[in-house]
């Protein structure tokens, strides 16, 4: 039996022990060969995976054509929560089990959402740098600031999506004294018990939010949910945070809103194309702060990811697969 990791580097660049994987054995105790690739280009996938029974992928796309050419393939483990890189319909109809890693990065992603928000509100890094450059020493006053300083308490924190990460983000916002309003499939009574107000509509949420955080999955319905018409509903003082998926936002529409002063700022951990090989209008947009899709990547979260991935494979080998997303 053979296990192939196609793009292991992002999840484990070398700071997590591979030994538990090397010690895996098949159902009858037969040895398992584990082949680890840091990265796999599209043209290399078939050659590396053609004789694998178990395939692990993070962002390498596994489509129907590839699966058809892999007669031994029985299991695909996605090293992420989202699994759109795999054609799960084809897999399910051909007896190939696909699993994902749910809820491993909840705390880390919520933390990044608030890190972006706090950066925009207070600009700690740039102010610290100005002190290192000697500006405080030369100041005529006991203090100075280069950006508006924003108190978040009392503001309306709007949130789109209240899954695990959305709820964790909402709780942090509440702890900072913000009023949370959500667009969610959860009913009004459930939200009230959590101290959260249910928005009458998505457009209403865009209208009332002082801060709007995107925490929903990417689906055909949520693709480009942030667009010109909705951005024009927002307050010019509002802040947009996206730690969900890049394509939730029409990037040109957001760049235009920021550059024209119709929106105060945006903090983004994701873009529509990653890496942005073809650039993005948001990279140079006014008051737009971008991190390179690292909200999930704390050491603690990646250790959980690798641990759950191993448990998923062990469950498959034991005949009781878990976290299955193919049907």
| 219 and 117 both lie in a single domain | yes
Question: Which of 208, 111, 110 lies closest to 166 in space, CA to CA?
Answer: 110
Q: Which of 116, 230, 293, 304 is catalytic?
A: 293
Which tokens go with 44? 């290399």
| 274 included as an active-site residue | yes
| 55 and 123 both lie in a single domain | no
The whole model's pTM is what?
0.93
| 96 and 153 both lie in a single domain | no
pLDDT score of 281 more than 90: yes
Question: Which of 232, 280, 286 lies closest to 264 in space, CA to CA?
Answer: 286
End-to-end CA distance of the chain: 24
| 147 and 261 both lie in a single domain | yes
- Tens of pLDDT, residues 56-94: 999 999 999 999 999 999 999 999 998 989 999 999 999
Q: Which of 44, 188, 260, 274 is catalytic?
A: 274
Report d(CA 99, CA 92) in Å as an integer.
11
Q: Which of 245, 251, 302, 304 is catalytic?
A: 245
| 293 included as an active-site residue | yes
- Tens of pLDDT, residues 12-49: 999 999 999 999 998 888 889 999 999 999 999 999 99
Query: Number of structural domains, the chain?
Result: 2
CATH code of 136's domain = 3.40.50.720
- Tens of pLDDT, residues 131-142: 999 999 999 999
Residues 207, 180: contact at Cβ < 8 Å?
Answer: no
């Amino acid at each position: 039996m053979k296990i192939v990791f196609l793009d292991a580097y992002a999840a484990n660049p070398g700071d997590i022990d591979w030994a538990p994987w090397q010690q895996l054995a098949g159902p009858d105790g037969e040895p398992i060969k584990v082949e680890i690739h840091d990265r796999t280009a599209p043209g290399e996938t078939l050659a590396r995976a053609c004789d694998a029974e178990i395939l692990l992928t993070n962002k390498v796309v596994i489509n129907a054509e590839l699966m058809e050419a892999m007669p031994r393939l029985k299991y695909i483990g996605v090293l992420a929560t989202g699994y759109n890189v795999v054609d799960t319909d084809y897999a399910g109809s051909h007896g190939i089990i696909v699993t994902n890693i749910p809820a491993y990065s909840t705390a880390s992603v919520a933390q990044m959402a608030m890190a972006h928000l706090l950066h925009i509100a207070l600009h700690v890094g740039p102010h610290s740098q100005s002190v290192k450059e000697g500006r405080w020493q030369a100041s005529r006053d006991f203090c100075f600031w280069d950006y508006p300083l924003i108190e978040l308490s009392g503001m309306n924190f709007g949130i789109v999506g209240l899954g695990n990460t959305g709820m964790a983000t909402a709780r942090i916002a509440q702890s900072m004294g913000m009023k949370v309003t959500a667009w969610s499939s959860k009913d009004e009574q459930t939200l009230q018990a959590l101290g959260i107000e249910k928005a009458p509509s998505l457009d209403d949420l865009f209208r009332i939010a002082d801060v709007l955080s995107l925490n929903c999955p990417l689906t055909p319905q949520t693709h480009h949910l942030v667009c010109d018409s909705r951005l024009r509903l927002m307050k010019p003082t509002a802040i947009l945070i996206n730690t969900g998926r890049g394509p939730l936002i029409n990037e040109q529409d957001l760049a235009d809103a920021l550059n024209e002063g119709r929106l105060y700022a945006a903090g983004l951990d994701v873009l529509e194309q990653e890496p942005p090989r073809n650039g993005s209008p948001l990279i140079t947009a006014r008051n737009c702060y971008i991190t390179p899709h690292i909200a999930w990547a704390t050491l603690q979260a990646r250790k959980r990811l690798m641990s759950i991935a191993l448990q998923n494979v062990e469950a498959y080998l034991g005949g009781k697969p878990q976290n299955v997303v193919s049907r």
